[in-house]
Structure formats: structure tokens, C-alpha cells
Amino acid sequence: MNLNELISKKLKGLRGENMLSLEEIANKLGIHRETYRKYENNPQAMDVGLFIELLNIYRYNPLIFFEQIYGMMPSKNKNQNLQNE
């Protein structure tokens, strides 16, 4: 799974944990349901400000979010990321 897929999976999981529909979360963000669906399926297209706003709605710390994403990455990918720094 690549980084984009991991973020997408985590966002869908958070929405489910908070028992919110696509419509409800889109309304909270002030965007159309289909726009949010596209963002959820391709989070790299989402504006950083909107992403932070989304995590705030879930009351989720962005640092913890990305630490968990990093923890989900296969070891091979982690090593490649560290070598590229």
C-alpha cells in the first residue's frame, strides 16, 4: 500500500469511527459531498488547510495521524524514506 492509499484508508476509518456520512462530513467542511468523496479517495488532492480542518472535526492531532500512517507503512518503504532524507 502506498502513502496515498494509507491516508485514504485512515480517513475513511475516522469517518466510520465518528459515524458520519459523506454528506455530513462534507457539510461540516462546507464542500459538496462528491468533492469530499474525491478527497477521501485521493487525499493528496486535498488542500492542507482543509485537511487540518478535517482532523480538527475528528479531534485528531495531525502529528499522531501521521505517526500512525508511518507505523502502517511496510518496513521496506520506511527505510527508503529515511535514506531519501
pLDDT grade for 34, boundaries at 50, 70 and 90: very high
User: For 2-6, what is the mean pLDDT?
Assistant: 87
Q: Quick check: 76 pLDDT over 70?
A: no
pLDDT (tens digit, 9 = 90+) per residue, 15-24?
999 999 999 9
Average pLDDT, the chain: 87
CATH code where residue 75 lies: 1.10.260.40
**Which pTM does this prediction carry?**
0.78
Domain that holds residue 32: 3-83
Give me the long-range contacts of 69-77 (CB less than 8 A, separation at least 24).
69/3, 69/6, 69/7, 69/10, 72/1, 72/6, 72/9, 72/10, 73/1, 73/3, 73/6, 74/1, 77/3
Cα(24)–Cα(5) distance, integer angstroms: 22
Domain count, the chain: 1
pLDDT grade for 80, boundaries at 50, 70 and 90: low
pLDDT (tens digit, 9 = 90+) per residue, 54-68?
999 999 999 999 898
